[in-house]
Amino acid sequence: MIKILKATQDEGYKIVLEFSDGSKAVADLSYLLDFGTSLSKPLKDKTFFDQFFIEAGTLCWKHGLELSGSSLHLKFIQTDCHAA
């Protein structure tokens, strides 16, 4: 299972992720703002968005939203590899 080891804020709604397999990605998470769910709405507040943290290899926010390292790796690393 791929885990997130480190996450640092980039510009806008982008987060630089470092994964347990040694890969890195700049994850543009602005797509989350379009969902309109109770978990995605608070992220529109940039100050709130910037309060992410890593717990057990997962990207988290204090209101309960969690994005697994494996799913983010698939979206931002593996997808890019297959597109090339």
**Any idea what DSSP says for residue 65?**
-
Domain, as residue range, for 45: 4-83
Average pLDDT, stretch 67-75? 95
Mind listing the pLDDT tens digit for each residue in 46-62? 999 999 999 999 999 99
pTM over 0.75: yes
Asked whether 68 and 58 are in contact (CB, 8 A), the reply is: yes
pLDDT of residue 80: 57
Task: Give how many domains the chain has, as a whole number.
Answer: 1
Query: pLDDT exceeding 70 applies to what percent of the chain?
Result: 92
Is residue 78's pLDDT more than 80? Answer: no
pLDDT of residue 36: 87
The CATH number of residue 48's host domain is: 3.30.2020
